[in-house]
């Protein structure tokens, strides 16, 4: 089968098989995985999502470092290929999506039955493969951790990326007033189409001045929930907008700069700071994660949320997908689609 194999750590934007590339050539002769247990399910992957964590992982910069060689990739969707004798929920041909620590950048992946979810009729498999990590992260962060309520003000940094765009949409489903921060006219226009109440171009405007002007015009005091997958200076500026009792959701550090939030200020302001590592919920709180994903699929089927696919690539072109992510060209999700011609908004 085809698989993207990381043979050494390095720059994932280099084409597979090159001398300096971390990836081995995609040759079609990678061994297909066998069913590992009676409750195992083998899935033929139709589409798999590229997340920033995977970009870091291939470079050896993520908190979880698989042993070499490994096949990267986390959330995916496809068709059931084979099932173990104890599997009761699925049969060959069923449409499913799932998540894994590694392994989805391949034609086939094996997962336990408990790690898979049925894809509702009418839901596109590429969209289903894009949902778990991005929308799952935002749903757990906003609904479960911050308990976002109607009328509260949500500030989303990096709002045009996969997790950021999902946070904007989930914020609107919750009835929040959403301020979205991104860079570039195209991204700001997209954020308006998914419901952002106010958009800020961080490459041209002061977040503080723009947000304060909007809040004043709306008769609002400040921000109740900060959703932050970026870090760095944007975080420091955003802290100055927070209300007493605000929630700070630490999602990631796409800027490469881990911000410092002074504990004495958090104490005086009664802020609650949440670290959110979505993948660990499968280990520590699986029922919470399962309920979250089920609600998201319900919202998706009702049209309450929409998944924007920015770029799609075939497996041998995965380095181009990583480059689109690195260069922040994506407006929504970047996907790897198996056995399908590449499409791109570039």
Question: pLDDT for 204-260, tens place per residue?
Answer: 999 999 999 999 999 999 999 999 999 999 999 999 999 999 999 999 998 889 999
Cβ atoms of 247 and 226 within 8 Å: the answer is: yes
Q: Is 4 exposed, middle or buried (0-12, 13-18, 19+ CB in 10 A)?
A: buried
Residues in CB range of 269: below 8 A, 6 or more apart? 242, 244, 245, 246
CA distance linking residue 20 with residue 10, whole number of Å: 8
Q: Is 291 exposed, middle or buried (0-12, 13-18, 19+ CB in 10 A)?
A: middle
- Calculate mean pLDDT across residues 166-190: 96
| Structure token pair of residue 57 | 């992982």
CA distance linking residue 24 with residue 3, whole number of Å: 9
pLDDT of residue 345: 33
Beta strands in 242-308 (DSSP E): 242-250, 272-275
Question: pLDDT for 285-337, tens place per residue?
Answer: 999 999 999 999 999 989 999 998 989 999 999 999 999 989 888 888 999 99
Domains and their CATH numbers in the chain:
1-118+307-335 (3.90.180.10), 133-277 (3.40.50.720)
C-alpha Rg value of the chain to the nearest Å: 20
pLDDT of residue 112: 95
Residue burial 238-266, b: 16+ Cβ < 10 Å; e: rest: bbebbbeebbbbbbbbbbeeebeeeeeeb
CA distance linking residue 15 with residue 335, whole number of Å: 17
Question: pLDDT for 19-77, tens place per residue?
Answer: 999 999 998 999 999 999 999 999 999 999 999 889 999 999 988 899 999 999 999 99
pLDDT of residue 344: 35
Question: pLDDT for 85-102, tens place per residue?
Answer: 999 999 999 999 998 989
Question: pLDDT for 102-131, tens place per residue?
Answer: 999 999 999 999 999 999 888 889 999 999
CA distance linking residue 23 with residue 9, whole number of Å: 9
Q: Helix, strand or coil for residue 299?
A: helix
Helix or strand (DSSP H, E) at 326: helix 318-326
Residues in CB range of 267: below 8 A, 6 or more apart? none
pTM of the model: 0.88
């Amino acid at each position: 089968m085809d698989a993207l194999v990381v043979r050494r750590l390095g720059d994932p934007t280099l084409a597979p098989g090159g001398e300096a590339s971390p990836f081995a050539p995609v040759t079609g002769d990678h061994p297909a995985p066998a069913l590992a247990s009676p409750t195992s399910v083998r899935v033929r992957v139709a589409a798999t999502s590229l997340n920033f964590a995977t970009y870091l992982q291939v470079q050896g910069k993520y908190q979880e470092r698989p042993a070499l060689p490994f096949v990267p990739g986390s959330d995916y969707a496809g068709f059931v290929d084979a099932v173990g004798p104890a599997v009761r929920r699925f049969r060959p041909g069923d449409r499913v999506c799932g998540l894994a620590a590694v392994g989805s950048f391949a034609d086939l992946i094996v997962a336990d039955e408990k790690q898979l979810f049925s894809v509702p009729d009418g839901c596109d498999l590429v969209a289903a493969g894009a949902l778990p990590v991005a929308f799952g992260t935002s749903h757990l962060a906003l609904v479960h951790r911050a308990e976002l309520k109607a009328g509260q003000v949500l500030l989303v940094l990096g709002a045009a990326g996969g997790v950021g765009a999902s946070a904007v949409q989930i914020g609107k489903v919750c009835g929040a007033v959403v301020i979205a921060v991104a860079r570039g006219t195209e991204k700001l226009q997209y954020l308006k189409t998914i419901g952002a109440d106010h958009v800020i171009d961080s490459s041209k405007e002061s977040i503080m001045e723009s947000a304060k002007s909007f809040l004043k015009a709306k008769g609002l005091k400040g921000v109740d929930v900060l959703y932050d997958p970026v870090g760095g200076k944007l975080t420091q500026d955003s802290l100055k907008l927070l209300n007493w009792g605000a929630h700070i959701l630490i999602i990631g550090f796409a800027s490469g700069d881990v911000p410092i939030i002074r504990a004495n200020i958090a104490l005086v302001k009664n802020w609650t700071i949440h670290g959110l590592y979505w993948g660990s919920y499968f280990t520590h709180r699986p029922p919470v994660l399962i309920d979250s994903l089920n609600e998201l699929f319900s919202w998706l089927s009702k049209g309450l949320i929409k998944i924007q696919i920015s770029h799609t690539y075939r497996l041998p072109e995965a380095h181009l997908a990583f480059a689109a992510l690195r260069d922040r060209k994506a407006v929504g999700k970047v996907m790897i689609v198996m056995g399908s011609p590449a499409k791109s908004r570039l």
